[in-house]
Chains A and B, each alone.
Chain A
Amino acid sequence: MADTAEVIVIGGGIIGSAISYFLAKEGVKVLCLEGSDYIGNGGSSRNGGGVRQSGRDPRELPLVMYGIKNYWPHLSEDLEVDCEYHQDGNLRLGKTEKHRKILEGLTDRARKVGLDVTMIDGDEVRRINPYLSDEVTCASWCPTDGHANPLTTTLGFYKTARKYGARFITGERVVELKKEKGKLRKVVCASGDVYEGETIVLAAGYDSRAIAATVGIDLPMEKIMLEALVTEAQPPMFNQMLGTAEADFYGHQTKHGSFVFGGSSGLEGFTKDNGTPICCSLTAPCICRGIMKYFPNLSDAKIVRTWAGWMDFSADGVPMLGMVPEVPGLVLACGFSGHGFGIAPGAASQIAQLILTGKTDVDLTALRYDRFKAKI
């Protein structure tokens, strides 16, 4: 069996599937290895669906702006699925002076990088979204933000990558990388299978850390759990993506009519999980209380399902992208820190371009893996 490929992508989430898609489309022989039994089984299928520029770190903002300009508007046609992309703006809501200061800081930083985002007051917020309670006194408003369906988008990248000839193997957990004559070459799996490639892309979320360690590279990140819930279908209310200054919840109404909201209890990292991303009984009620303060109308909406997932949170909250000079042949695409969905088309297209041409349209220097320094 020919277990070689020009590019081996480790990780079949949205990042790995999208990189496979962009490479296979250009005729590259791609093999994508997913450790779990399912495509898109991590944050890719468990996030809130934001396609958001506002509130982002200026180092990763150019990448998501690039994706929104070049890919998101026609992604449904490209991927032959309904990505349910809406570009109807993002409201990040505040209720107190402290919130206003947080939002002003985020807005100023984003405007410096060229993003159209403004501060608006409570009345303007309710003109955009009349369902919000009077407690909301301010918001940042970015009209070019939006949301999409993470499930269909992730599986759409997989489906079309496969159509263009990319080979996917699930249940194939990578445990070790091996160099040959100073260059990365072999990928060893827990099953005993070994694959060989000229370029190896590491897009395995938090698991990337242990895999990179086998060639002496440490990727400073940790696992943080986030939880989400979905309501039964409601009549159409609004199309904006929503968040709050304190990040107590975020979400949107889907095409299906249900509301998807993500959030946290504040006790993440200290709850008992037995090694699987399982919901904590404290969190969904806490998210509900947060939502009801902003949207009193939703208090009768029924929750039909809750779920949880891991984020691969990097030491400074932005991803590690690009080549690794110490390990020729290794390309990183991990540490997306809970922002990996909206940025995926932009980031994956740039990683594919880097592999194909050695260059990128968006400068990735600020996202190098060796940027981490001690504080003093």
Chain B
Amino acid sequence: MNQVNDRSRDIGEFVPRPDDDMVICRCEEVTKGEIRKAVHEGMWTVTEVRRYLRTGMGLCQGQTCGKLVKGIIASELGIPQSELEPATSRVPMRPIEMKVFAKEAKEADGNG
């Protein structure tokens, strides 16, 4: 994307809401209020919120909450969702045991 984004732009104060305790990321138990608050603490991208609160870092890797988190951040910033990046997908697609993953490629000959 590389969009110039002045992080000092005024987005208003954090205002508590009745649904703030709703759990959005179920794997890591992160609530809507925590996500909204993180935006006011400067986390203005899906990536930063993920690194700050662990949204989408659990077993489902954000496959459930990714879109919801993005929507909450966009609405808090007052921008369309299309201005935010999609959550990053990372290998492996499903959690995989170390002993299985370890067989993925041949190891060096001898004892390395």
Contacts and interface: CB of A to CB of B under 8 A. Distances in A.
Interface of A: 35-41, 45, 81, 151-152, 154-155, 158-159, 162, 167-173, 189-191, 193, 231-232, 248, 256, 279, 281-282, 284-286, 288-289, 291-292, 298-307
17 contacts: A35-B2, A37-B85, A39-B48, A41-B47, A168-B8, A169-B7, A284-B91, A299-B97, A300-B98, A300-B99, A302-B95, A303-B96, A304-B59, A304-B61, A305-B90, A305-B91, A306-B92
A12 B103 CA distance: 38
Interface size class for chain B?
35 or more
B102 interface: yes
B57 A38 contact: no
Nearest to B91: A306
A305 B92 CA distance: 6
Interface string B71-112: 000000000000001000011100111110111110100001
Contacts of A151: 51-52
Of A40, A155, A158, chain B has the most CB atoms within 10 Å of the CB of A155
Contact of B59 (A81, A173, A232): A232
A281 B104 contact: yes
Given A167-B7, A168-B8, A285-B105, A292 B1 contact: no
B52 A169 contact: no
Interface string B1-19: 1111111100000000000
B105 A281 contact: yes
B66 to A, nearest CB: 14
Interface of B: 1-8, 41-45, 47-48, 51-52, 54, 57-59, 61, 85, 90-92, 95-99, 101-105, 107, 112
A299 B99 contact: yes
Nearest to B8: A167
A40 B48 CA distance: 9
Nearest to B44: A170
A79 to B, nearest CB: 11
Contact of B97 (A173, A291, A300): A300
Contacts of A193: 4
Contacts of A173: 2
Given A299-B98, A304-B95, A305-B90, 11 more contacts: A39-B42, A151-B51, A168-B6, A168-B42, A279-B91, A286-B105, A289-B102, A289-B107, A292-B99, A303-B96, A303-B98
Contacts of B92: 303-306
A162 B102 contact: no
A108 B57 CA distance: 41
Given A286-B107, A288-B101, A37 B3 contact: yes
Nearest to B85: A37
The 7 closest A-B pairs by CB, nearest first: A285-B104, A302-B95, A151-B51, A288-B102, A299-B99, A168-B7, A171-B3
Contacts of B48: 38-40, 155
Contact of B95 (A39, A232, A286): A232
A22 B43 CA distance: 20
Contacts of A301: 97-98
A45 B51 contact: yes
B61 A285 contact: no
A348 B112 CA distance: 38
Contacts of A279: 90-91
Given A37-B85, A155-B52, A305-B57, A285 B97 contact: no
Given A162-B7, A168-B8, A300-B97, A37 B42 contact: no
